[in-house]
Amino acid sequence: MAMLTETPNLEIFDNLPHICKAAKNFTRMKAEGLVKELGKVFVKHNVYNDYGLLLLHRHFDMSNAELLVESFNKNGDISVALPWIVNGESVFILKCVHT
């Protein structure tokens, strides 16, 4: 289960690297070995079901009028983050894709 640890903030989102740049940085920093070592720590302490590791990135730009919302498929095992347009207190879905 994911947990929100930062109040949604467009400035923070805008400063995340796009996925291609994040992946290139990951490779350039030779981070795969570090991730494998951290994985061993998760297993050693039996916390691999409680904690995870992710590569912060973004796939698209957003405006101030949008809110990024994660939705799940009917089984609850695949999530998709979608931008929703926020208009005052109303929220309008731009598109909804379920696999």
Q: Where are the domains positioned within the chain?
A: 9-60, 62-99
31-61 pLDDT, tens digit per residue, is: 999 999 999 999 999 999 998 888 888 888 8
pLDDT score recorded for residue 7: 65
Q: Which whole-number Å values give the CA distances from 76 to 56, 65, 70, 99, in the listed order?
A: 22, 27, 11, 11
| Half-sphere CA count of 47, side-chain side, radius 13 A | 10
Sheet containing 79-87: order of strands: 66-72, 79-87, 90-93
pTM: 0.58
